[in-house]
Amino acid sequence: MDLSVKIGKMTLQNPILTASGTFGYGPEFRDFLDLDRIGGFCTKGISIEPRGGNPAPRIVETASGMLNSIGLENCGSKAFLEKVMPQIRNVKSAIIVNFYAGTEEDFIKLAEILSTDKRIDALEMNLSCPNVKKGGSAFGSNPELIERLTKAVKNVTDKTLIVKLSPNVTDITATAAAAESGGADSVSLINTLIGTAIDREKRTFILGNKIGGLSGPAIKPVALKMVWQTAKAVKIPVIGIGGISNLEDVLDFLIVGAKAVQIGAWNFINPSIAAECADGLEKYLRQRGETLNELTGSIKE
């Protein structure tokens, strides 16, 4: 059965991806699932230089979700290309490298650096991290900046470019439209919603960074609504993210118009979930005698 999806120049063998920051760099999950069975995976956000991230504690469990303030800890672009890529370059699924910088110049420089590796299928530009002081959400809430930066990055890369959007804005369709007019091949949404948690005995914040990003099943209704609205507002493919924990959630995002989905926090609960959803989607469509194309965007308004 054909479950393939085209996003820019990249062809995914199926629409199930894993979300950045919840799947390591890929190899860490090899004991739990066959990387060749999923559509692809997004790496932890890569910066030019290595980053240590935020002070601990960096994770708190919440009702039906979690808050994180990792602060984009990563090995840096050099170690990623030299040490990590050799471990994953033979997988059949798509390798999507999520990347982050604190300035426009560094976003462009980093896109150039990552574009030197032919095996990387796509770059996912994180304009939406709530856990870092420089860049992050500041970029992600300004449509003019998004359009300019997308255009500049497109100019230096021939990779499929996905712009990852923040839900912490008044109107996500405006930021999606800005990415589209800047030349993005796709937008992915949503990143985490900003929140906090306190220790009422100590009267302190639990997270070392005080605030963090909320993810997991708690955010699914918010994400689903934003993906539905965005899929109607732009012509480029929308990748749906937010609170997906089973096949039913995957179906919901596809029905409202997502061309592919990413599974995030649930990888921590069930590290095989992405492969299970890929198998489950095929079975579901086969049983119904429906194609992926017929399912996608089939919501009745």
Ligand X SMILES: Cc1cc2nc3c(=O)[nH]c(=O)nc-3n(C[C@H](O)[C@H](O)[C@H](O)COP(=O)(O)O)c2cc1C
Positions that interact with ligand X (CB under 6 A): 19-22, 44-45, 68, 70, 72, 98, 126, 129, 164, 191-192, 215-216, 219, 241-244, 263-266
Report the distance separating Cα 284 and Cα 37, nearest Å: 16
Degrees, nearest 5: CA angle 74-77-79: 80
Nearer to ligand X, 45 or 102 (CB): 45
Nearer to ligand X, 19 or 84 (CB): 19
Using CB atoms, what's the residue nearest to ligand X? 21
Q: How far is the CB of 16 from ligand X (least distance, A)?
A: 12
Nearer to ligand X, 182 or 212 (CB): 212
Nearer to ligand X, 91 or 190 (CB): 190
Q: How far is the CB of 68 from ligand X (least distance, A)?
A: 4
Nearest CA to 185 among 168, 164, 205, 215?
Answer: 164
Nearer to ligand X, 44 or 259 (CB): 44
Q: How far is the CB of 108 from ligand X (least distance, A)?
A: 18
Q: How far is the CB of 58 from ligand X (least distance, A)?
A: 8
Known active-site residue 129: yes
Q: How far is the CB of 239 from ligand X (least distance, A)?
A: 10
Q: How far is the CB of 267 from ligand X (least distance, A)?
A: 8
Q: State the DSSP string of the chain.
A: ----EEETTEEESSSEEE-TTSSTTSGGGTTTS-GGGSSEEEPSPB-SS-B--PPSP-EEEETTEEEE-----B--HHHIIIIIHHHHTT-SSEEEEEE--SSHHHHHHHHHHHTT-TT--EEEEE---TT-SSSTHHHHT-HHHHHHHHHHHHHH--SEEEEEPPSSSS-HHHHHHHHHHTT-SEEEE--PEEEE-EETTTTEESSTTSEEEEESGGGHHHHHHHHHHHHHH-SS-EEEESS--SHHHHHHHHHTT-SEEEE-GGGGT-TTHHHHHHHHHHHHHHHHT--HHHHTT----
Query: Under a CB-based contact definition with an 8 Å cutoff, are residues 71 and 58 in contact?
Result: yes
The full length of the chain comes to: 301
Nearer to ligand X, 56 or 286 (CB): 56
Query: Under a CB-based contact definition with an 8 Å cutoff, are residues 101 and 107 in contact?
Result: yes
Q: Which residues does the annotation mark as catalytic?
A: 129
